[in-house]
Amino acid sequence: MRKLILSPCGTSLLTNGSNEIERKLVNKHANANEIHDANDKKLLEERIRTVREKLLSCSFEEAKKLSAELNGIISLYNGLIPKEASQDYYILLCTDTWLGEQTALLVESWLKKQNLTTEVRRQKDLQTNNLESFQVALSDLVQWCEEVIKGYKDSQYYVIFNLTGGFKSVQGFLQTLALFYADESVYIFETGNELLRIPRLPVKMAEVDYIRQNLAAFRRLSLELSDKSDSTEKIPETFLLEIDGEKTLSAWGEIVWHSAKKEIYKDCVYESPINKVRFSQKFLKSVENLETDRCVLVNQKVDQLCKYLQTKQNVSSLDFKELKGNPKPPSTHEIDAWSDKDAKRIFCHYENGILVLDELGKGFH
């Protein structure tokens, strides 16, 4: 089975074997997006060049000693990179800093030398010197896992979180994410040589029923459509993040929401979370006996539609457009419900500034 290996990256590769001046420079610029001091940048680039030359000419055992990230990856393959590893995919997650990205690129250069397919992901706002930015970055990371990592799992990849490198604050959060998105997570045991493998444990979210009771509020928060008049008193503070007076879901709130939503959206087609969208009786009748996976799709489309009406961001999967030639009055517009199986559309029209969903039915293509 093909593997997807996600490895957070720190900067220890630059400090291992460095002199005091180099270590001080790394610490000084650890959270900088860019290095503006020309002399400091020149010294750091020299250090990066030295490390790259050493890394690309060393043995596997030496690479394990130089890089915690490579220690985990090489140990995962029992000390050697087999030919079949070329089918695997490696994502190196780094902080939103110049040094973080440069260190990840060093690890990538070694992996590419082994003919492995890699990607460096510089996670926006992921820094350890600003708590608010860090929390925003973690929420974005959950969304990315939901879209990207889940996609690999759906494509039958075996997902491994390699947590031997990176900053402790990031490692801790990824260990929580691993419960939901990884098949296993791996560490190097304290001896520095043995790989500790932690399989995915079944997670039952006790919050599912709780979220059902506050579903509209959670949907608005997840879509970033919540306003100051929204009551969030019944939602625990750990699920919320407030920025400039606006509330959204925190990283933990995102995890809980995405996990619970998968089950909740199977139950039925829920009312719109905003009053700009209303369901007609004919529409409700047309979605009455849907299979569970179709209920999920319709609920997701309603979410996308609400987001579009507020932000005018018409994603391609929504395909909101005007009908030509008045083929289905009173409907004037349509969106894509799903394109597989029997390919259905949702027909709708505007009424006093409200978008009314008229019916789920077959398209005219």
* One-letter identity of residue 278: R
What are the backbone dihedrals phi and psi of residue 41, each rounded to the nearest 5 degrees, phi first? -65, -40
> 106, 94, 109, 126: which is closest to 9 by C-alpha?
94
Domains of the chain listed by start with CATH number: 3-199 (3.40.50.10770), 204-267 (no CATH), 268-365 (3.30.2310.20)
Confidence band of 342 (pLDDT split at 50, 70, 90): confident
- Tens of pLDDT, residue by residue over 77-119, are 999 999 999 999 999 999 999 999 999 999 999 999 999 999 9
- Between helices 251-267 and 215-222, what is the axis angle to 10°? 120
pLDDT of 357 > 80? The answer is: yes
DSSP state of 86: G
- Token pair listed for 136: 């925003």
What is the bridge-based pairing of β-strands 333-338 and 344-351?
antiparallel
> Would you list the DSSP string of 251-270?
HHHHHHHHHHHHHHHHH--P
Residue bearing tokens 């939103």: 96
C-beta separation of 23 from 43 below 8 A: no
Measured CA to CA, the distance from residue 319 to residue 305 in angstroms comes to 10
- 177-196 tens-digit pLDDT: 998 899 999 988 655 667 88
The CA distance from 225 to 62, in Å, is: 51
CB-based burial label for 231 (10 Å; 0-12, 13-18, 19+): exposed
The sign of the torsion formed by the CA atoms of 253, 256, 259, 265 equals: negative
Structure-token match 């087999």, residue found: 82
The answer to whether the beta carbons of residues 3 and 89 sit under 8 Å apart is: yes
Q: Does the structure show a pLDDT above 80 at 226?
A: no
This prediction has a pTM of 0.78
For the stretch 13-48, pLDDT in tens is 999 999 999 999 999 999 999 999 999 999 999 999
Q: What is d(CA 253, CA 127) in angstroms, rounded to the nearest whole number?
A: 20
* Alpha helices for 145-250 (secondary structure H): 150-154, 168-181, 208-213, 215-222
Instruction: Of 124, 103, 92, give the one whose Cα is nearest residue 14.
Output: 103
- Note the pLDDT tens digit of each residue in 230-264: 667 778 888 888 877 788 888 888 988 998 898 89
pLDDT-based confidence at residue 317 (cuts at 50, 70, 90):
confident
